[in-house]
Structure 1
């Protein structure tokens, strides 16, 4: 399974999303241009979900109209269980199967390359892994998916799933402010077992690009850290985007970096970032030391 080093996150194609997004959901023409720019830039892995508005349908329409590109693309989609399915194996099986079939219909593809469970903030990992490994295996055996895994809400919980062999793909929040999955050893263990690791929230939903006057009242605690981030970028002689991106890209164990885009130029800009040199070791070490402990309300978009 060929996963591109960059993964296009497509939540913006289906919903208004991102703290720095002042343009809203792009229209159909812009959405198609974003997907075309991804193909042209070699970004052939796309991340979506049943819960990203009509994102799957936008992708499906693009694939139908650009069949020559479809063979190169690898789509990652996600599903969720109802509260009842969390405690009923038969219901969990049926809901997962129904969700996958709906995704396949919307995308217009026969098999879903990667299916992830979309963990919510109030869903304990211990409860999820009671059924998820078994359900993923059954979906693979039925030929509905190729690989399965989970999109973690809490990076601290990575260690809870590393020994679940059927969960071969993991999406986890990690960025220069939020290094929990590095410090707790989860990323190293996933690398050791050969997991596909998708690093999301590399720019913390655009928070890194806000100037002090644009930071909303409930995130004022982020301002001192944003100032330090800019100081470190200046010291490294790079911009904030390059600093933040390179830091995550070069973490051992990261397979692909997930990013979103509101217009085609952002896709091309991120493709360029993939080519920038690695950060000097002293800059990486300073970043690890500087951003060890940040308030949870700053590094957890779900709390915003």
Structure 2
């Protein structure tokens, strides 16, 4: 009797993790949708058809986690997500929706109104993860009142979990002290931006707060598209990675670390050539491998970016490659220092 053909192996599945303090399981890669409503000119907003295709492909790849904010285009991103989910035929129960409230809406009545607007924009009865987009600086913020209202909204079922974004150690400690269960802290994290490793990741770990890493490709700097400062637009080169005179939009007074950045990019390209993997996939896989990371927020301005980016979750990097990349990015980490703010100098940084 002829031997039967070996059974085809099942396709790899997108790994999932549980958001700390909840029973909500999310894909380790989260579709970020700043570009669905971006008013800054950093991205070009795509058509509704393209946005629906991006969402469809992300869900097909195993992504069940979508992140937005009321501040992305004044709610345009939230509204676009609702349209895209409907057009792609994705059921509400098959996705975990995260949104964020802007700093100017943290007073309890304004916060409640913001939640209601986001619910209407997203066409949903509840938001799975509701995050404070930025902490407020100065003496006018009643932290206890804000988180007290968030707890009420959670008890009412309008939100399922409470998160924060861009919170440094002191801000996170103040939030935890209110008695609210803080589940996540969304932070800038990439091979080119490891400032959170100095203090913030340890604070998150101590409080059992999961890290959601945003801008894992450093606004495209680690995508393989760029190899020199001259290639980068002023909207991107305004960050602290670049000399203060590189972009007219720069808000910092620093010399940057351009030499170290392009040396890192060169090493990424070398690893890509050796492995046959895209540069962006390697950069994303490095972030996914870092401790305490619950999910990595990736963007996709084109549908074809989805497969490239989500493949990072299915192809973990060997420890030797992870160490090699960390060593290549250590000089950037050292120059940036502990200030986690991508755009503002130390005295004007918004992290505390």
Q: CA RMSD in A?
A: 3.0
Distance 1:128 1:48, change over 3 A: farther
For 1:89, the equivalent position in structure 2 comes to none
Render the CA deviation track for 1:216-260: whole Å, top value 9, x for unaligned.
475344531232112322454355323421221111100000011
Q: May I ask how many residue pairs the two structures share in their alignment?
A: 291
The TM-score with structure 1 as length reference comes to 0.83
Distance 1:302 1:295, change over 3 A: same
* Greater helix proportion: 1
Unmatched tracts of structure 1, length 5 or more: 87-91
Render the CA deviation track for 1:57-94: whole Å, top value 9, x for unaligned.
11112334455532110000011243xx66xxxxx111
Question: Is this contact kept in 2: 1:188–1:253, CA < 8 A?
Answer: no
Deviation at 1:147, TM superposition (A): 0.5
Between 1:57-66 and 1:195-204, the stretch displaced more is: 57-66
For 2:164, the equivalent position in structure 1 comes to 150
Deviation at 1:277, TM superposition (A): 2.5
Q: Aligned partners of 2:340, 2:304: CA distance in 1, in Å? A: 27
Unmatched tracts of structure 2, length 5 or more: 1-23, 247-255, 346-352
Between 1:173-182 and 1:3-12, the stretch displaced more is: 173-182
Render the CA deviation track for 1:8-46: whole Å, top value 9, x for unaligned.
001101125675x4xx11011111111111111111100
- Give the 5 Å matches for 1:268-287: 268-279=307-318, 280=320, 281-287=322-328
The TM-score with structure 2 as length reference comes to 0.73
Deviation at 1:137, TM superposition (A): 0.8
Aligned residue for 1:203, secondary structure, equals: coil
For 2:38, the equivalent position in structure 1 comes to 15
Q: Say yes or no: does 1:58 pair with 2:75.
A: no
For 1:96, the equivalent position in structure 2 comes to 111
Question: Is this contact kept in 1: 2:167–2:185, CA < 8 A?
Answer: no
Aligned residue for 2:25, secondary structure, equals: coil
Question: Is this contact kept in 2: 1:125–1:157, CA < 8 A?
Answer: no
Aligned pair partner of 1:133 in 128, 135, 147: 147
Deviation at 1:108, TM superposition (A): 1.2
Look at both structures and tell me which one has the larger radius of gyration over its CA atoms.
2
Q: Aligned partners of 2:335, 2:147: CA distance in 1, in Å? A: 33
Between 1:61-70 and 1:46-55, the stretch displaced more is: 61-70
